[in-house]
Amino acid sequence: MSRDAGATARQARGARSLMGRAAVGVSRLAHPAHPGTAPKAGKASGGGGNGAGRAGLALTALSIAATIVTGLAGPSAMEPALPGRPGQPPWDLGLQLPPATAIGLAAAALAAGTVGLGLCLHALRRGWTVSPRKVLAAGFIAAAVITLAPPFGSSDQLSYAAYGRMVVTGHDPYLTTPAMLARLGDPVARAVQDWRGSPSVYGGLATGGQALASWIGGDSARLTVFVLSLLGLAAFAGTGLLLHLLTRRSRPRQLRAGLLWALNPLLLQVLVAGAHVDSQAIAFAVAAIAVFALGLPNAAGHARPFRQLGAAAAGAEAGPRVPGVPLAGPRPLRRLGVAAAAGALAGLAAAVKLSFVLVAAGLAVAALLAWWPPPGSAGSPGRWRPLALAVGGVMAGFVVTAAAAMLPWGPQSAGPALRAGSYVSIGSPWRAVRSGLRLLVGEGSADGLVRAGAIVLAVALLALFARPLRGLASTVTGAPAVADPAAGGPAAAEPVAGAPATGAPATGAPAAADPAAGAAVTAAQLTVLAGASCFVLGFAWLVAWPYVLPWYDGLGWALLALLPWAPLPWAALDWLVLARTAALAFGYLPARGIALPSGLGWLRSVVRTGVTPAVLLAAAFTLVLLLWPCRPRWRPRAAHRAGPDAGSTTGSRLAG
């Protein structure tokens, strides 16, 4: 046996061992070691959700195993070849799967993952529970094993490697294309398959990470891509840990966050196995929310704001809360610094992908919801100070960081990303609209009209989201609701599903005693407000924008994990995001510009151009119906007065 053959055999044995560990780790969750253990006080026993939960985890394990096999199989219609020296990571078995087999294996993983995640979410709403830490650990193990195999699903990782190679060789990635570098004989640029004529559309921070990977990988595209995959894995794991931290006060919410992110089989394939740079932007976005939510609340009192992070990680409070002390407190500069730090992290997210500017806007909206002066504070001095410090700090931190990220290559580095905003993907419902407009007004005018229509749709969705968002804010903070004429008096704010009946419904914290001084917003409340505000802006963009790809939905999944269990329309968002991501993932099998065999052409002519746009359009239409102000009440008036869970068998067990 040759040295290379022996190395390949050892890699094969190691890969099979790692894949087995990942699958067994997930399957053990479906069969806990002590299935008869009684639930803790206040926890639901699971009822009819246990069977669905076990089945969901089993399908999730099957999906992860199929995803790992697809990557380990080696170059195929799903996986581009990675030139490099023998033995370099990532490793594969070189099985040379036929196109139908490779695509079928990836499709089977998506099908099992979609059904499995849906069953887990259904069971979770019925009270089923497993250890959130085990779910988190299983997701991290699966992601690590997937990272050891070559990325598949698209060839974007080769473009990332080429952009990093440009920096290392002294070229401007925002003016140079991979094709230009390839003509100079560069081996990494020659490996690029798609987008060969496009400069980088990513921010300066993303380009810096790509340059670091290129510096380590040298002229090996394979090793460069592996370093990029490790950066994505670190970002994915960091996001999972932050979500686990932010939802620490509710075991059901922690479990939901783990299922929606760390052990989400759709994300493990389209985001982790695809080694997409979106993971890094999402990590900075969630970190911005964490600093904003844990550092700014009045609950910190006179304590150091960043002590909140350490105390939260230990499961303790940062210090005693001082009721009635506004955000400005005795040290407004410290509060301003915390807000600026959150804004800086949002700026780093935008320095990876420009569209993440929406995170900074979401934090500003959350500040408005949390600290808008109440009507009774009209004559109070400094009533606007809490809001001004939060919004001003976030905006200042964001602007400084975003501007610093442009310094190495200048403002023109944003040009390719702005020009890419005119693209319309094949799987978008806007594709058919643009085709029709081209026949009427020509290509240039059609693109402009599509962009204008997308902006109008996004603004309309934001306007429709405004009322539910304000309602969620009043529910979470315990602010009084608008008087209910039918009830003959003021209506108490609806509690979030399963929340305590006293104090702040979502957190159990007492309301502020002095409304004129500004409500004392706790970290748990601000987490919900920031997560909901950022989700609303991000999801409106995802639904409305003409250029969509499966991994773009990663931002929606991360922010969805921060939302509490609440009545419609919030209760339907899990299913809308699941339907969107599944439709896009199936529609882009594979997301590569290669020629498919004649027997597989229907994947593009039927699924990508027909089925996927139809599902996205149906999801958008359903969202509009759910948000429409005249939507009929789904619950009787008596149940409405009693709370969202009156007479309900779901939701009440899973408190936000």
pLDDT at 89: 97
Look at residues 254, 333, 241 and name the one whose alpha carbon lies nearest to residue 287: 241
Given a cut of 80, is residue 219 above it in pLDDT?
Answer: yes
Q: What is the DSSP string of 593-614?
A: --PPPGGGTHIIIIIIIIIHHH
> Cα–Cα distance between 376 and 19 in angstroms, integer?
61
442 is written with which tokens? 């020509």
Q: What is the pLDDT of residues 183-210, one digit of tens each?
A: 999 999 999 999 999 999 999 999 999 9
101 is written with which tokens? 């087999």
The residue type of 585 is A
Q: What is the pLDDT of residues 46-85, one digit of tens each?
A: 455 789 999 999 999 999 999 999 999 999 999 999 999 9
Given a cut of 80, is residue 7 above it in pLDDT?
Answer: no
pLDDT at 510: 38
Given a cut of 80, is residue 649 above it in pLDDT?
Answer: no
Q: How large is the greatest C-alpha to C-alpha distance in the chain, in angstroms?
A: 87
Given a cut of 90, is residue 182 above it in pLDDT?
Answer: yes
Mean pLDDT score of the chain:
82
Given a cut of 60, is residue 86 above it in pLDDT?
Answer: yes
Distance of CA 190 to the CA centre of its chain: 32
CA R_g for the chain: 25
17 is written with which tokens? 């061992």
**3-class DSSP state for residue 219?**
coil
- Mean pLDDT is lowest, of 88-97, 107-116, 264-273, 328-337, for 328-337
DSSP 374: P
Instruction: Report how far apart the first and last C-alpha atoms of the chain are (Å, whole number).
Output: 60
> Cα–Cα distance between 169 and 176 in angstroms, integer?
11
**Where do the domains of the chain lie?**
281-374+383-482+491-642
Please indicate whether residue 441 or residue 519 has the higher confidence score (pLDDT). Answer: 441
Look at residues 533, 617, 609 and name the one whose alpha carbon lies nearest to residue 580: 617
> Cα–Cα distance between 325 and 48 in angstroms, integer?
46
3-state secondary structure 33-102: CCCCCCCCCCCCCCCCHHHHHHHHHHHHHHHHHHHHHHHHCCCCCCCCCCCCCCCCCCCCCCCCCCHHHH
Please, which pLDDT band fits residue 309 given cuts at 50, 70 and 90? low
pLDDT at 521: 82
Q: What is the pLDDT of residues 103-157, one digit of tens each?
A: 999 999 999 999 999 999 999 999 999 999 999 999 999 999 999 999 999 999 9
- Mean pLDDT is lowest, of 6-10, 39-43, 244-248, for 39-43
pLDDT at 379: 58
Greatest mean pLDDT range, 32-46, 328-342, 454-468: 454-468
Q: What is the pLDDT of residues 448-500, one digit of tens each?
A: 899 999 999 999 999 999 999 999 998 888 754 333 222 233 333 333 433 33
Percent of the chain with pLDDT over 90: 66
pLDDT at 549: 96
Q: What is the pLDDT of residues 401-458, one digit of tens each?
A: 999 999 999 999 999 999 988 899 999 999 999 999 998 998 778 988 999 999 999 9
Please, which pLDDT band fits residue 341 given cuts at 50, 70 and 90? very high
**Mean pLDDT value across residues 214-225:** 97
**Mean pLDDT value across residues 278-305:** 80
pLDDT at 49: 75
> Cα–Cα distance between 635 and 648 in angstroms, integer?
9
Please, which pLDDT band fits residue 518 given cuts at 50, 70 and 90? very low
**Mean pLDDT value across residues 501-518:** 38
Q: What is the pLDDT of residues 564-611, one digit of tens each?
A: 878 889 999 999 999 999 999 999 999 988 888 889 999 999 999 999
**Mean pLDDT value across residues 309-317:** 50
Given a cut of 90, is residue 366 above it in pLDDT?
Answer: yes
pLDDT at 48: 59
Within 407-442, residue ranges assigned H as helices are 415-420, 430-441
CB-based contact 492:482 (threshold 8 Å): no
pLDDT at 335: 87
pLDDT at 422: 83
CA-angle at 174, arms to 170 and 176, nearest 5° = 60
**Mean pLDDT value across residues 543-549:** 96
pLDDT at 533: 97
> Cα–Cα distance between 263 and 30 in angstroms, integer?
13
